[in-house]
Amino acid sequence: MLQVNKPTSEINRDFAEADGPPSQTLASYVEIARRQFPTIVAIVSACMILALLYLFTTAPQFTSTASMVIDTRKVQLFQQQSLLGDVAVDSATVETQVEILKSENISLAVIRDLHLIEDPEFSGSGGGLLGAVIDFVGNLFSDGHAPSEFEQTRKALERFEKNRTIKRIGLTYVMEIGYTSKDPVKAARIANAIADTYIVDQLEAKYQATRRASVWLQDRIKELRTQASAAQKSVVDFKTANNIVDTGGRLMNEQQLAEVNSQLVMAHAATAEAKARLDRMNDILKQDIPDANVADALKNETIVKLRAQYVDMASKESIWALKYGADHLAAVNLRRQMAEIKKNITDELKRIQQSYKSDYDIAVTREESIKSSLNNAVSESQLTNQAQIQLRELESNAQSYQAMYDNFLQRYMESVQQQSFPITEARVISAATTPLVKSYPKSLVILAASLFGGLLLSFGAAMAREFSDNVFRTTAQVEQVLGANCIAFLPALGGSSSSVGLGSKLTRKANPQPDLLRYVVDNPLSRFSEAIRSLKVAVDLNSIVRENRVLATTSTLPNEGKSTVSTNLAQLMAHSGAKVILVDADLRNPSLSRALLPDAQVGLVDVIAQKARLEEVLSIDPTTGLAILPAGTTSKLLHTNEILASKAMHELVSQLRAKFDYVVLDMPPMAPVVDVRVTSSFVDSYMFVVEWGRTKTDVVQHILRNAPEIFDKLLGVVLNKADTKVLARYESYHGRYYYQKYYARYGYVE
């Protein structure tokens, strides 16, 4: 279908692209806030009222703060390492002291010292309107007996801990002690009392711990002195009984055993060396003539000379044998001399072998002698091993007892000195003073928080209402959801009972909504009439490109105002001079016929069935000249869609098209029945009426998606029954302000 009116999304596309996504998002949130402005104002106002009520009914409270630091430097000036093993002050130590300050021991001490049980602030509900209500309710459910001292103490302790604040300042060693009370003087007094009680408690704890340790150390020192003396006497007696002589920390038999063992190692090395030389000589004797390396290694001049002679003769013998033959006398003499030299070398090697063998035997004999001496030393040492084990055990016990005695004696002397130093690691660096300004409730903070919370809550509620509002309220929604033009915005009209006359053939009687059906005639300058005119303009513009004379008005559900739209559009066209016929084609529920022609007995059904002529059933409105074709008697019809799709219906529409400038068909709604879908063959354009703020978007979308033949000929969507006051929050240009301002000069006020 050709859409003459360009959608707003296309018109403003260039501007939207220029703005970018952040601007669109911000603009959408601003639009939501504007649409839900009453909700936002109501929620924010409620939050502010609650905050003001809270401020007026809550008793003011004052907070006083004292500061305390943990510092061990001054303690180190007067004492050495603490008896209890003090460690350096670190983060964990400071946090531990914070927890000690929060302990019930400190709190109960302050309550006792200041007699807070007798204070009404600690024994009552806390004052104020809320406190009075709590007291009243508590008295209703109480059993009437007076609370015991324990119950009063626990109640005061609970109130005390609730109003007390203790925290560490950053990563420093400073602790901040605060207390909140309705009396500023009392708040300062209690904060200082907490600091003083903590210091006294630390002094008392150190004194008691040191005193208990001193008493225990005295008894332990006496016991250790006796044990150390007995252990030393046992060592001396054992040495005397076992003839153990100590020489520089070692026993004599231990020293002798070490020396013999060292000699045995050296003898074993000498034996191994002699054995290696003898084995090497045996390997040399297996060779005929030792090579030059072996001869040089032996360092024997005789063998060296003999080997040189042998080599020289062997060289000559090879020359003579090669020259004169192997049997030549000179060669034979040389070989005989070579054999003699070889014998002499062998004899010399055997002599050296005997020398090596003698050295090896001597080394073995010496090693065996040393082994015998070592065995004797080991045998003698074994006799005293048991005594040495017992001696070491006795000496170890004696040393342990002596060390423990010296250590405990030193600790005892330190504890005696520390009892005279009344100092602690904590000191007050800033005492609490009387506060001049209340700390709670903070009016500006509470008002700002209530305002901020109200804005968040209201915006959340606005977003929830906005996203759960699944109805049509703006033209942009129609274009985005349905992809169709929104051609008219009709304001809601209030109905009143009156009479309507459409000619001599019409019966005048009370009509439930007569003014609605003739609103454009009775109120030509109204906003509703102007919207109907925009609807006619859309029809005329669409007629430029193709014939657009047979118009059908339908809706999704009943009671959306399609009959009102079709009637007023037809009357507007007729009143402007065109020949127009209004046909009630809603054969299932001909409400238009009942409203305009309640006494008509024949109509469209009779014309289609050829039981009556068209001229006989038409009624003409004398004011506008509008021709009206009622539906006729349709109560017994079962298949109305077949009637509308019949050939006779097509012929009738063709006849009406030839006689009239415009044919306006009031069709049934599309959701309950299928009659509208069979009329697409003879209808030029459809006008789809949607009730503003009531009809669900998904229902309309589903209906049009399942009827493509209707959607293809859809002229546009008419949003009907719009609340102009609320509509101004969604689209200001559709509100009543601009229209009334323009027509104010005519004296017309809608």
Separation between Cα atoms, residue 472 and residue 718, nearest integer Å: 11
Range in 122-136, 540-554, 684-698, 703-717 with the lowest mean pLDDT: 122-136
Compute CA distances 184 → 40, 61, 389, whole Å. 40, 8, 78
What is the structure's pLDDT at 230?
84
Which residue from 556, 746, 511, 543 is spatially nearest to 662, judged by alpha carbons? Answer: 543
Report CA 333 to chain centroid distance, whole Å: 114
H/E stretch holding 401:
helix 329-418
CB-count exposure of residue 74 (10 Å: 0-12, 13-18, 19+): exposed
Q: Among 403-417, 489-503, 548-562, 646-660, which stretch is predicted with the lowest mean pLDDT?
A: 489-503
Q: How many angstroms separate the CA atoms of 476 and 474, rounded?
A: 5
Size (the chain), residues = 750
Mean pLDDT, residues 666-685 taken together: 90
Give the residues across from 583 on adjacent strands. Answer: 629, 665
Among 717, 716, 713, 718, CA closest to 1: 713
Q: pLDDT value at position 514?
A: 44
Instruction: Tell me the pLDDT band of 639, cut-offs 50, 70 and 90.
Output: confident
Residue 471 β-bridge partners:
696
User: What kind and span of H or E run contains 365?
Assistant: helix 329-418
Across 247-251, 267-271, 515-519, 588-592, the highest mean pLDDT is recorded for: 588-592
Q: Are strands 174-181 and 62-70 parallel, antiparallel or unpaired?
A: antiparallel
Which regions of 492-575 does DSSP assign to beta strands (E)? 498-499, 510-511, 550-555
- 3-state SS, residue 40: helix
pLDDT in tens, 156-211: 899 999 999 999 998 888 999 999 999 999 999 999 999 999 999 888 888 787 77
Indicate the range of 72-86, 170-184, 478-492 predicted with least confidence: 72-86
- Which has the higher per-residue pLDDT, 391 or 43? 43
User: Which helix or strand (DSSP H or E) is residue 716 part of?
Assistant: strand 714-722
Mean pLDDT of the chain: 79
Radius of gyration of the chain (CA): 62
- Given a cut of 60, whether residue 297 has pLDDT beyond it is no
**β partners of residue 720:** 691
- Residue 77 in this model has a pLDDT that exceeds 70: no
| CA 152 to centroid of chain Cα atoms | 45
Residue 476 has pLDDT above 60, yes or no: yes
Q: How much is the pTM?
A: 0.51
| The dihedral sign for the CA sequence 133, 135, 141, 144 | negative
Cβ–Cβ under 8 Å, residues 469 and 696: no
Q: Check whether 20 has a pLDDT greater than 70.
A: no
Is residue 433 classed as helix, strand or coil in its secondary structure?
coil
pLDDT at 23: 55
Residue 3 pLDDT greater than 60, yes or no: no
Q: Supply the DSSP symbol for 471.
A: B
pLDDT(511) > 50: no
* Residue indicated by tokens 């990563």: 171
Q: How far apart are CA 181 and CA 177, in angstroms?
A: 14
Q: If DSSP codes are grouped into helix, strand and coil, which group holds residue 505? A: coil
Residue 682's pLDDT band (cuts 50, 70, 90): very high
Give the pLDDT score at 65: 94
The Cα–Cα gap between 584 and 600 comes to 12
List, in order, residues 6 or more apart from 72 with CB less than 8 Å away: 86, 88, 89, 425
Please answer whether residues 527 and 491 qualify as being in contact, where contact means their C-beta atoms are separated by less than 8 angstroms. yes
Q: Is 610 exposed, middle or buried (0-12, 13-18, 19+ CB in 10 A)?
A: exposed
Confidence class for position 500, pLDDT limits 50, 70, 90:
very low
Query: How would you classify the pairing of strands 580-584 and 627-629?
Result: parallel
CB–CB of 401/231 below 8 Å?
A: yes
Confidence class of residue 351 from pLDDT cuts 50, 70 and 90? confident
Give the sheet arrangement for strand 174-181, strand by strand: 164-168, 174-181, 62-70, 426-430
CB 50 within 8 A of CB 57: no
> For residue 130, which amino acid is it?
L
Whole-angstrom Cα distance, residue 268 to residue 366?
9
Q: Lowest mean pLDDT of 143-147, 440-444, 454-458, name the range.
A: 143-147
Residue 293 host element (H or E) = helix 292-298
| CB-side neighbour CA atoms (13 Å) of 541 | 14
Residues whose CB is less than 8 angstroms from the CB of residue 387 and which lie 6 or more positions away in sequence, other chains included: 238, 242, 244
Per-residue DSSP letter, 679: G
pLDDT in tens, 266-288: 888 888 887 887 787 777 777 76
Following DSSP, what letter does each residue of 635-668 receive, concatenated?
TT-S-HHHHHTSHHHHHHHHHHHHH-SEEEEEPP
Residue 611: which residues within 8 A CB-CB, separation 6 or more? Answer: 602
pLDDT-based confidence at residue 319 (cuts at 50, 70, 90)? confident
**How many Cβ atoms are within 10 Å of 106's Cβ, its own excluded?**
20
CA 163 to chain centre: 33
Residues 563/591, Cβ–Cβ less than 8 Å: yes
Structure tokens that stand for 708 in this block: 């493509």
- 604: amino acid identity, one letter: L
| Residues 595 and 628: beta-carbon distance below 8 Å | no
